[in-house]
Amino acid sequence: MLKQFFWMCSGADTDILKNSSKAEQTKFAGTGGTVFFTAIMAFIAASFALYTVFDNYFTALFFGLIWGLLIFNLDRFIVSTIKKSDSKWQEIWQATPRIILAIIIAVVISKPLEIKIFEKEINQVLLKQKNNLTLANKDQIATQFTPEIATIQDEINLLKQEIDTKETTSNDLYETYIAEAEGRKGTKIIGKGPVYKEKREKHDAGLAELQQLKIDNKTKIAEKETQIVTLIQQQKEQVAATQPIINGFDGLMARINALSELPWLPSFFIFLLFLAIETSPIFSKLIAPKGEYDFKLQDIENSVKTWVSQKEMQRKQVLKTDRILNEAIYNELAKEDELYHYKKQKAREIMQFQADAFYKSQKKIISS
């Protein structure tokens, strides 16, 4: 039962194999087994690759099964269509496109399995890439908020500077009226005279303005600091909102790119392994001499070709005979007087009918 299943997988004619030697049966069973297990590997590889895309087991298994059946059908087609002939160059020529197709299939099958085999190393590469993306994302988002925050901070600094300037002016006025009272500056008369009072009033007015300025600017500074806090919070929220996108940067394409950053030699050997598996049935057919199965299959095909050639020749002979008979019959009919007079009479009637019709049409034209 299992042997017949592998025969079916090899694309061979099971009726011929049943009457062939054990060696032929074993050879085609091995070929079918290779085709079958290659399809199994394709199913596993595709399921894993599609799981990284859909993140769903059932979807990945369903499409992986379809892919496995497709690879099975392609491999079966490749193996079954290579026919043994008397010329090795002809066999190589007909096998060339199939070998190219087998190489493509080997690449497609091996790549997802390479991703699974080197999963830990790929995760390390992806982690570095995610960290770099996170930093770049923060810098990019910061460029959206930093100018506005810097502008508001400059406004706060201006408000503080305005207070400092006013405070310096007030201190200078204080020093002026104190120096006037002590007789160190101004009139240099010790005591609180009219000049002292004038300078004291000027200082008191400036001090009142300073107190009011502090109150006003403090309110403005608090508002602007609130704006800065709000902007910083918005920046953090935007970073947090975009971080899941970076965390999800581990799809199939990302893993393939990460795999390309790893040393190429291990990946290349895995590819060679699948290439050997995929092309082994083809090369085994090319290398092996004609066997019992090949001779029997060729005999059946030649029988069909002979039968088709005979049918075609018979049709040609029937056509040739029919043409000769028709020529003889028509030549004989052409010599009969009765047929001649009959056709002459009919031709006369047709000419008379045409003349009458022409006369009637001309008469209508003239009368109108």
Which of the given ranges, 18-22, 29-33, 137-141, 195-199, has the highest pLDDT on average?
137-141
Residue 130 lies in a domain: no
Residue 274 lies in a domain: yes
As a whole number, the mean pLDDT across the chain is 80
In the structure encoding, which two tokens stand for residue 366, read together? Answer: 């003239």
- 89 shares its domain with 160: no
Distance CA 4, CA 32 (A): 9
Predicted local confidence at residue 179, as pLDDT: 66
- 10 shares its domain with 112: yes
Count of domains in the chain?
3
- Contact residues for 107 (Cβ-Cβ < 8 A; gap 6+): 271
Contact yes or no for 190/183 (Cβ under 8 A): yes
- 285 shares its domain with 333: no
- 183 shares its domain with 90: no
Nearest to 251 by CA among 136, 128, 137, 112: 112
DSSP string of 65-90, one letter each residue: HHHHHHHHHHHHHHHHT----S-HHH
Which of the given ranges, 76-90, 215-229, 281-295, has the highest pLDDT on average?
215-229
- 266 shares its domain with 230: no
Nearest to 41 by CA among 301, 271, 303, 352: 271
Distance CA 291, CA 12 (A): 13
Predicted local confidence at residue 248, as pLDDT: 79
Confidence of residue 189 (pLDDT cuts 50, 70, 90): low
Cα dist from 349 to 135, 344, 355, whole Å? 105, 9, 10
Confidence of residue 177 (pLDDT cuts 50, 70, 90): low
Residue 131 lies in a domain: no
Name which residue leads in pLDDT, 254 or 333.
254
Nearest to 295 by CA among 9, 4, 83: 83
Residue 217 lies in a domain: yes
pLDDT in tens, 20-53: 788 887 887 888 888 888 888 878 878 877 777 7
- Contact residues for 333 (Cβ-Cβ < 8 A; gap 6+): 339
Nearest to 235 by CA among 322, 138, 342: 138
- 20 shares its domain with 92: yes
Is the pLDDT confidence value at 234 over 80?
yes
- 6 shares its domain with 74: yes
Contact yes or no for 156/221 (Cβ under 8 A): yes
Residues of 150-168 as b/e, b for ≥16 C-beta within 10 angstroms?
eebeeebeebeeebeebee
Is the pLDDT confidence value at 331 over 80?
no
Share of the chain above pLDDT 90, in %: 0
Residue 138 lies in a domain: no
Nearest to 156 by CA among 202, 222, 79: 222
Last residue of a domain, one of 225, 249, 273: 249
pLDDT in tens, 260-278: 888 888 888 888 887 877 7
Residue 124 lies in a domain: no
Burial of 351 (0-12, 13-18, 19+ CB in 10 A): exposed
Distance CA 11, CA 28 (A): 9
Can you give the residue range of the structural domain that contains 337?
308-367
- Provide the residue count of the chain: 368
- 230 shares its domain with 270: no
- 87 shares its domain with 153: no
Predicted local confidence at residue 187, as pLDDT: 60
Residue 155 lies in a domain: yes
Residue 16 lies in a domain: yes
Long-range (24+ apart) CB contacts under 8 A made by 224-230 are 224/152, 224/155, 224/156, 224/159, 225/156, 227/152, 228/149, 228/152, 228/153
The answer to pTM > 0.75 is: no
- 111 shares its domain with 196: no
User: Phi/psi class of residue 171: alpha, beta or left (left: φ > 0; alpha: ψ in -120 to 50)?
Assistant: alpha
Is the pLDDT confidence value at 315 over 80?
yes
- 14 shares its domain with 40: yes
Is the pLDDT confidence value at 161 over 80?
yes
- 313 shares its domain with 285: no
Confidence of residue 86 (pLDDT cuts 50, 70, 90): low
Distance CA 181, CA 191 (A): 5
Is the pLDDT confidence value at 143 over 70?
yes
